[in-house]
């Protein structure tokens, strides 16, 4: 039985593309979920899909390493 690949070789640009696509999908699903007609023919409710996308975006964010200078004052924006 084959196992899962636990070693991924993705560049920063690849991760940015994935994150951008997830943000766009989340925005589209959110707008369709609040529309009067809703999503009638989906296998999974939009709220469950939105929750999975939100959780995945959170996990991606938590794996980022943000730059913080070793010396001097940090100016956050």
CA 7 to each of CA 3, 10, 47, 64, 65: distance values in angstroms, whole numbers, following the listed order: 12, 10, 31, 17, 19
Q: Give the pLDDT band (50/70/90) at residue 57.
A: very high
Domain range enclosing 29: 18-34+43-62
3 in any annotated domain: no
Integer Cα distance of 58 and 39 in angstroms: 25
For residue 70, what is the DSSP state?
A: S
pLDDT over 60 (residue 38)? no
Tell me the pTM. 0.67
Q: Give the pLDDT band (50/70/90) at residue 34.
A: confident
72 in any annotated domain: no
Joined tokens for residue 41: 């023919």
């Amino acid at each position: 039985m084959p196992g899962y690949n636990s070693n991924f070789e993705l560049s920063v640009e690849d991760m940015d593309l994935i994150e951008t696509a997830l943000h766009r999908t989340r925005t589209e699903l959110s707008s369709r979920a609040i529309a009067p007609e809703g999503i009638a023919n989906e296998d999974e409710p939009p709220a469950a899909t939105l929750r999975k996308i939100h959780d995945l975006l959170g996990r991606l964010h938590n794996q980022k390493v943000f730059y913080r200078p070793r010396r001097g004052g940090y100016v956050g924006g």
